[in-house]
Amino acid sequence: MRGRMKEIKGIIPPIITPMNEDESINEHELANQVDRLIEAGVHGIFAFGTNGEGYILNEDEKEIVLSVVIKTVAKRVPVYAGTGCISTKDTIQMSQMAEKMGADILSIITPSFAATSQEELYLHYKRVAETVSLPIVLYNIPARTGNALAPATVEKLSGIDNIVGVKDSSGNFDNMLQYIERTRNKDFAVLSGNDSLILWNLLAGGVGGISGCANVFPQNMVAIYEEFVKGNMDEAKKAQDAIRSFRDTFRYGNPNTIVKAAVELSGYPVGKCRSPFSFISNEGIIAIKKVLEECKKAGIR
């Protein structure tokens, strides 16, 4: 199982879920987005993550999305499936469904809404891991879930054979650094979920990032990793710095709402995020358009 950790690296977009006007899944455009991202050089495709609106898709819709993604990817890159639910029972059910369908790696967000202790989190992940054979990447995003995976808990979970990595979206670099430090000798993958920290994750010993911005600028985000691997630090820094102006537009709404709007404004019919998470002010739309135009002129894609 640890040998499969080599697949977990680079830039993995949590692919957006294109929707029609009636908020049904636009399967044709989803397949188009998969091809677009793979052609840009991404190192994996992550179905129904936060940017894929996994929080608002029902089980049947997740099955549709995963089916389209797996079929379209056609084993060109690993497919990640976000199978975390609030309960351990539902997480097991979703994880087993994803494994049966042919996903390569599971990304499991912490339970949300109700506060959980670190021991409860440990037992939750342990029980899930015992029911599947796929590699599991833990997912820490306390601002959204209300529950944080402590570095000591991640270290303890890293001792379970098929728990092979963690995505940290806390935005706290020291927290991510502690994940790296505590698992450095365990063949364990630490990924940044904050796009601004991808290069710094790599410099500290991490393996890359699950990048929402890769839906908008896939070639640029891939360049952060590829230039770093080649030892071209100036180019890696240039690619890392290039997304600052776009990330500054996140003040106009939910980040995944901004990302999806940016893809739509770039000419792809991906639709809006599912209501009620779909509003961006006119000021925000103007700001996004301005940044996209500036990035286009600068060759940032």
DSSP assignment of the chain equals -GGGGGGS-EEE-B----B-TTS-B-HHHHHHHHHHHHHTT-S-EEETSTTTTTTT--HHHHHHHHHHHHHHHTTSS-EEEE---SSHHHHHHHHHHHHHHT-SEEEEEPP-SS---HHHHHHHHHHHHTT--S-EEEEE-HHHHS----HHHHHHHTTSTTEEEEEE-S--HHHHHHHHHHHTTTT-EEEESSGGGHHHHHHHT--EEE-GGGGT-HHHHHHHHHHHHHT-HHHHHHHHHTTHHHHGGGGGS-HHHHHHHHHHHTT----PPSTTTT---HHHHHHHHHHHHHHHHTT--
Q: Which of 9, 62, 156, 167 is catalytic?
A: 167
pLDDT at 7: 84
CB distance 16 to 260 below 8 Å: yes
Distance of CA 245 to the CA centre of its chain: 20
| Closest of 80, 81, 83 to residue 111, by C-alpha | 83
| Closest of 273, 276, 218 to residue 26, by C-alpha | 273
CB distance 147 to 115 below 8 Å: yes
| Closest of 158, 208, 209 to residue 181, by C-alpha | 158
CB distance 125 to 139 below 8 Å: no
**Calpha distance 253→300 (Å, rounded):** 23
| Token couple for 21 | 């006007």
pLDDT at 287: 98
| pLDDT tens, position by position, 204-232 | 999 999 999 999 999 999 999 999 999 99
Q: Which of 139, 225, 252, 268 is catalytic?
A: 139
Beta bridge partners of 45: 79
CA distances from 279 to 32, 76, 301 (A): 25, 35, 25
| Closest of 252, 256, 25, 258 to residue 141, by C-alpha | 256
pLDDT at 185: 87
pLDDT at 5: 54
pLDDT at 120: 98
CB distance 205 to 184 below 8 Å: yes
| Token couple for 127 | 């029980």
- The answer to whether residue 167 is catalytic is yes
pLDDT in tens, the chain (301 residues): 544 555 899 999 999 999 999 999 999 999 999 999 999 999 999 999 999 999 999 999 999 999 999 999 999 999 999 999 999 999 999 999 999 999 999 999 999 999 999 999 999 999 999 999 999 999 999 999 999 999 999 999 999 999 999 999 999 999 999 999 999 988 899 999 999 999 999 999 999 999 999 999 999 999 999 999 999 999 999 999 999 999 999 999 999 999 999 999 999 999 999 999 999 999 999 999 999 999 999 999 9
pLDDT at 6: 58
